[in-house]
Amino acid sequence: MINSTQVSYFILAAYFDTGGFKYLFFLLILSLYVFIVCANVLLIVVICMNRSLHEPMYLFLCSLFVNELYGSTGLFPFLLVQILSDIHTVSAPFCFLQIFCAHSYGAVEYLNLAIMSYDRYLAICYPLQYHTRMTSKKIAVLIAVTWLYPCFAMVVLLSLRSPLQLCGNVINKVYCDTHSVVKLACSDTNAINIYGLIATFSTISVSLLLILYTYMRILKVCYSGSKQTRQKALSTCTPHLASLLNFSFGACFEVLQSRFNMSSLPNMLRIFLSLYFLTCPPLFNPVLYGLQMSKIRVICKSLISKAVY
């Protein structure tokens, strides 16, 4: 039996020899990461520097883009190093830091999408009372809870993991996650498993219930409202729903491939499914919102035109 304090590193067994193609994979991953950073930073700067965008909807979007940078930065630099390396190991402290980043990123994403749906609900269902209901203090509290709750939940989760005794150090993934580490334990894991289920279920269920309730109310208003109201709802809610579905699919892929035996699937496909929720939303969201939101689109075009000329 190996005590968890004696495990100084973990072996990531999902990597395989790609020969000369590793440089191609490196360039592809690097290009994706550069695009994600540039796109999200551009939109964050646009929102922060333009007073016309200092509205609740855009402030929540800014929080979402910051989270995309946070989640992708917790993964992509690590992937780039591992792709070029011949030995695929990760130190135990960095492994737990990566677990903290990946899981807190997922929780922040769901909570951020939930408060964005609440904001759209107030704007469409109570347009005349919107600014009295969505005050600066409420915005600050909602954003603070969105970020602080997942961080607190992950601190508790990792503290429950620390007493575990591990009987191995081989993780069959390309990055660290809680479930893979807990599977290596040869001591009682009931406490961490129960807490993990409660924390995950409460975060996802509360977020999805709030989103479901707000969209039911929005649909009711749209059904009985004017054509202008329906167009406003469609223009602001479509990117939000697309973002929610994209991230939810990725989260489902990650849960399925982590908890069920998918050895019958090709290795590359399993790796892609495990990385989807950390790569596609940061790539997808800035493009989606940048193209769909007319105010952001116009300001971005103006900035790019000034930079070119």
What tokens does 268 get? 């590359």
Calculate what percentage of the chain has a pLDDT beyond 70: 92
- Quick check: 60 pLDDT over 60? yes
For residue 308, what pLDDT is reported? Answer: 57
What phi, psi does 91 have (nearest 5°)? Answer: -65, 150
pLDDT digits (tens, 9 = 90+) for 7-17: 788 988 888 77
- Do you know the residue count of the chain? 309
Please choose, from the candidates 281, 259, 284, 254, the residue with its C-alpha nearest in 3D space to the C-alpha of residue 270.
254
The owner of tokens 């903290």 is 100
Q: pTM of the prediction?
A: 0.89
3-state SS of the chain: helix, strand, coil percent to 5? 80, 5, 15
Class of residue 79 by CB neighbours under 10 A (exposed 0-12, middle 13-18, buried 19+): buried
95-124 per-position pLDDT tens digit: 999 999 999 999 999 999 999 999 999 988
User: Which phi and psi (to 5°) does residue 166 adopt?
Assistant: -105, 140
- Is 2-308 a domain of CATH 1.10.10.10? no
What are the residue boundaries of the structural domains of the chain, listed by start? 2-308
Coil, helix or strand for 176? coil
Cβ–Cβ under 8 Å, residues 192 and 114: no
